[in-house]
Amino acid sequence: MELILEDGSVLSGKHFGHPGSVAGEVVFNTGMVGYPETMTDPSYQGQILVFTYPLIGNYGIPDNSVVDELYSNFESSKIHVKGIVITSLTTHYSHWHAIRSLEDWMIEHKIPGIQGVDTRALTKNLRNAGTQLGKMVMEGSDTAFYDPNKENLVAQVSVREPKLYKKGSKRVILIDTGCKQNIIRSFLNRGVSVLRVPWDYDYSDEQFDGIMLSNGPGDPTMVPETIDILKKHLKKDKPIFGICLGHQILSLAAGAQSFKLKFGHRSQNQPCIQVGTKRCFITSQNHGFAIDDQTLPDNWSPWFFNANDGSNEGIRHVSKPIRSVQFHPEAMPGPEDTNFLFDEFVSML
């Protein structure tokens, strides 16, 4: 099998997983663990994922247990990456929680993989040249390059109908633009009911105490319907909280502008500093776009910034209970340093 990049680079390796050719945006993740959660994160829709950690598959894949109608060990019901690129596949996994191998799981979900690739050299290429389109091609077959950011990826991963997760008297409207299930679990664990609605659903007539904007894939400008519906609620005083793509959608609704990062932030060790303090939090992240906080209008201010590149990592309204973060306080995988942000939001309801 070969991985072919749009700059002409060709990397050869050994195929594993599903036997098929795929195309998408090639991105890298520097996390050392968490491949089951990462691969089932809807934010990776349309992407070929390079794992920089050399050993993948060593602790296998856990079971499909469900609690409160949510998968306990995954972030959605299926794998969302188009394919994965790794250095070495561990076929003999070892973990008390595992029930099958990574390759068996990928075959079930029809996801191809390529191993034996120098992922260090590949990652350096993507860092220097920027994120590129690419394709994983089996011998004797080919496929065209595909740019997922030109499509409304959110419509592909959002729920089709509203769904209620009942837990307490307080209720949050969750705008599902590719929601990780641990966001829902984070509210249920705090005794808050969640009404999960599609990305283009007008929730103006629903009864709720706050609005949660979820993570998701792709370019935030591809969901103008979500932005327009949210604009109506920014004029009110209901608490609003956004994560990742939800942060970008909130920022665009407020009047700011977004831009594409050179190679994005995808890892579980991104340092973020709270504006006005020296407090640094280590965060889990997965995004390719960011907000230009210099375009924030009056009454909005930056809340966090990335200690590595200075990019915006959060905004908040100066007087209303409206705020958002670019990173993932729900973790899964990654550190739980900012999990307290859910407590703060719930206290506002």
Which two structure tokens, joined as six digits, stand for 210? 């706050």
pLDDT at 50 over 90: yes
Domain of 10, CATH number, reads 3.50.30.20
What's 261's domain CATH number?
3.40.50.880
Predicted pLDDT of residue 306: 98
* Whether residue 257 is found in the same domain as residue 274: yes
Looking at residue 152, what is its pLDDT?
A: 97
Give me the pLDDT at residue 37, please.
Answer: 98
Give yes or no: residues 259 and 219 share one domain.
Answer: yes
Do 81 and 175 belong to one domain?
A: no
Element (H, E) at 105: helix 102-108
Q: Are residues 16 and 121 in the same domain?
A: yes
The residue annotated as part of the active site, out of 247, 265, 287, 328, is 328
Of 96, 129, 150, which closes a domain?
Answer: 150
pLDDT of res. 140: 85
The pLDDT assigned to 283 comes to: 98
| Section 203-224 average pLDDT | 97
Give yes or no: residues 142 and 85 share one domain: yes
Write out the DSSP string of 6-75. Answer: TTS-EEE-EEEES---EEEEEEEE--SS-HHHHHT-GGGTTEEEEE-SSEESTT-EE---EETTEESS-S
Percent of the chain having pLDDT more than 70?
A: 100
Mean pLDDT score of the chain, rounded to an integer? Answer: 97
Active site residue 179: no
Which of the listed residues 93, 123, 150 is the one where a domain comes to its end? 150
299: left (phi over 0), alpha (psi -120 to 50) or beta: left
**134 and 191 together in one domain:** no
Q: Which of 244, 272, 287, 313 is catalytic?
A: 244
Domain match, 201 and 132 both? no
User: Do 54 and 189 reside in the same domain of the chain?
Assistant: no
Note if 265 is an active site residue. no
Q: Flag whether the pTM goes above 0.85.
A: yes
Annotated catalytic residue within 25, 75, 103, 330:
330
Write phi, then psi, for 265 (nearest 5 degrees): -125, 110
Q: Are residues 217 and 71 in the same domain?
A: no
Q: Same domain, yes or no, for 157 and 113?
A: no
Instruction: Evaluate if residue 271 carries a pLDDT over 90.
Output: yes
Per-residue pLDDT, averaged over 211-224, amounts to 98
Q: Tell me: do 119 and 197 sit in the same domain.
A: no
Number of structural domains (the chain) is 2
Residues 299-333: tens digit of each pLDDT: 999 999 999 999 999 999 999 999 999 999 999 99
Query: Which pLDDT value is given to residue 115?
Result: 98
Domain that holds residue 297: 153-348
Question: Which of 115, 150, 185 lies at the terminal end of a domain, its last residue?
Answer: 150
> What pLDDT, on the 0 to 100 scale, is given for residue 205?
95
Q: How confident is the model at residue 233 (pLDDT cuts 50, 70, 90)?
A: very high
Query: Which residue has tokens 């034996």?
Result: 116
On whether both 6 and 130 belong to a single domain, the answer is yes
**Residues 153-207: tens digit of each pLDDT:** 999 999 999 999 999 999 999 999 999 999 999 999 999 999 999 999 999 999 9
- Does the annotation mark 328 as catalytic? yes
